[in-house]
Amino acid sequence: MKLSAPIYQLKRRAKIMARTDTIPLHQALDRIAQEEGFTGWSLLASQYETSAHSMLSQLVEGDLVVIAARPGHGKTLLGLRLLLDAVREDRKATFFTLEYTEAQSLQRIHALPEGEMLGDRIEIVTSDDISAEYIIRHLQGAPRGTVAVIDYLQILDQQRSKPPLAEQVLALKAFARNTGTVLAFISQIDRAFEAENKALPDLGDIRLPNRLDLWLFDKACFLHNREIQLQHIG
């Protein structure tokens, strides 16, 4: 069964419904779920919400991870949930985004389970200057085990004043290894994947407008149609 909108948009509708109809949020969530053909929100969530907890438990200090999917398949939400799980473990969590404003980022975080309770502990950085050098400088001195999500891989070197993507990822890999920081990169998947007969994308489907050795990453997480798979690369 295909949802009429992504999970975070359904939650936003439920919040608006709760305010306008003056009902508890859980009742509004159940109504939204029923409109989607489920008896309640818990059933909908169990089938459509991707878990980041199992991924965090499989990451080690110094890991470079790529989180990749086609648009609308949950890669950004998974990255944000990874940060929420880091916060839950009392780790420093930072979201570097060249895609969203701070308000948009907070809106998406607050729509997630425990997002309103824990989301304000996630540091959000939206500077146009985000690059490897900027990220390294910003995280210098952060405690080991810090988790940072970078949104997104393909536009790190979009400005010609920034170093090539391969050079930036090499620098970030060295930084992660030396400091014990976990760096997760949200990544696009080439649209040609949708013409292939595969359940999930793989490394060969990652869109690379500029040259990059994907073996620099330690792990890759691929999502498609509610399926998720974490792979070890190096």
Q: What is the pLDDT of residue 49?
A: 56
Q: Give me the helices (H) in 72-212, please.
A: 75-88, 102-110, 115-118, 132-139, 165-179
* Whole-number average pLDDT of the chain: 91
Whether the per-residue pLDDT at 53 is higher than 60: the answer is no
43 phi and psi angles, rounded to 5 deg: -70, -45
Mean pLDDT of 198-212: 93
Two structure tokens written together for 53: 């907890």
Read off the pLDDT band of 157 (50, 70, 90): very high
Q: What is the pLDDT of residue 1?
A: 57
Whether the per-residue pLDDT at 104 is higher than 80: the answer is yes
Q: Identify the burial level of 54 via C-beta atoms within 10 angstroms of its C-beta, where 0-12 means exposed, 13-18 middle and 19 or more buried.
A: exposed
Please report, for residues 100, 122, 136, 220, 225, the alpha-carbon distance to residue 229 in angstroms, rounded to integers and kept in the order given: 26, 25, 28, 8, 12
- Domain spans, the chain: 7-48, 53-232
- Which CATH class, in words, describes the domain spanning 53-232? alpha beta
Whole-number Å distance between alpha carbons of 59 and 90: 16
Read off the pLDDT band of 222 (50, 70, 90): very high
Whole-number Å distance between alpha carbons of 21 and 15: 10
Two structure tokens written together for 216: 């620099």
